Structure 1
Amino acid sequence: MEAPPVMQTPSPAPRGMGCFAKGCLTLIIVGLVLVVVFVGGSVFVLNRAIHVFTSTEPVQIQVRQSTPAELQVAKAKLDTLRSAARNHQETTIEFNANEINALIANEPEFRGAAGHARVAVANSIASLDVSAPLDSMHWKRLNGRWFNGNIQFGFSYVDENFNFDIRSAEASGHHFPRAILTSDFMQSFNRSFNDSFHKESAKRPDANNLWRHIKMASLQNDKLVVTTRAM
């Protein structure tokens, strides 16, 4: 039987797509999709797992249309974040879920994510509805397959390290057992995720320039809170 590929963090976004919003969304979508596929492939018979948990077609994810005023506020916050990073100033910006979704739908940096991702945040937990291609795993069994599902997780970024705490995951209407996502597994995943991210960042520093200016980021109550670093 063909073995699944070694779980790796996806390459950072190309230059010109490396703003905080795009980078954060890419890491969450692709990184957590890899977790779900890896877990499914290691527990179930692979062929059945692929059939049950992935699809041959994407799904369109509906997002509430933001008002012009809401979009203006969201863009102003993102511009403030970019300006603080560019000028090496410390500032804290809070994004609620509606603002994140407005940026996904309208900001060029998100490009292919529009219509394929929707975020909700409550009680410091994100709920991500996502339709994501799995070709980036470079495993021929997953060529042309899509992950269509929901992942709920906690998230923080401190001292240039990410920490994910996956609470639940489902794909194509099938739930993954919570017992699979043990603390040992999450520790191993976070360690591997950060090692891969740092290696890729060293290879392509321009693509992740903004992350070097982020002091911390976390989900707090119903918001994503980001603090830039004074340098």
Structure 2
Amino acid sequence: MKIDVLTLFPEMFPGVLNNSILKRAEDIKAVSYRVVNFRDYADNKHHTVDDYPYGGGAGMVLKPQPIFDAVEDLTARSETENPRVILLCPQGARYNQKKAEELAQSEHLIFICGHYEGYDERIREHVVTDEISIGDFVLTGGELGAMVIIDSVVRLLPDVLGNEQSHMKDSFSTGLLEHPHYTRPADFRDMKVPDVLLSGNHRLIDEWRAKESLRRTFIRRPDLLEDYLLDDQQKKWLQEFVKEQETNQKDK
């Protein structure tokens, strides 16, 4: 995969891209990164990339010319016919694991990180393939959002995590939140690891993990269950959780 980032602050990226899983991915040639200052594409002597909005109003708006030229240049140099061009924007579709898995199938991603009041609308209409928001809040710029998306996508690429099964049971990958984890010691300050995890019985362990994954989702993110197709066993567990919740509420 090739990942290009268009930003006015390229110095923000080395610390993230040159460490941990993202660095490992580059080392094994699963991905290559290129961070580009789109100010370099400005066609005026002062290299300005923003201007006052037509109609008045607060803030400055990113001009179309530098971003159009930058994307066209990167696309012309791409080995992929139609790279995905991602605009980081609070108006975009909310990002989730399903989108990460979709983007992980791409060969070339181009991220546009904006600043100021917003983008000239023609950038959205004629350059971008995806508008993405990482949440219902506003950041100073798109750089942090791009880093979040890059991390979530790159870790899904083949061989990056070392174990192909590592990401398959992550929270959201299965549609549910992940089950609890424990490690040594088995008894820490009188807080004990569940006996089933010490039993060595993998069938019972798998069953416990599946049940606790459903329980955690029911308690913390019940909205995820609205479109989740439960099997018969999960339906029984869910009824059990509801009764437990009702009992706990009565006790209070």
Q: Same fold (TM over 0.5)?
A: no
Q: Higher relative CO (CA 8 A, sep ≥ 6), structure 1 or 2? A: 1
Larger radius of gyration: 2
Q: Hey, which of these two has a bigger chunk of helix by percent? A: 1
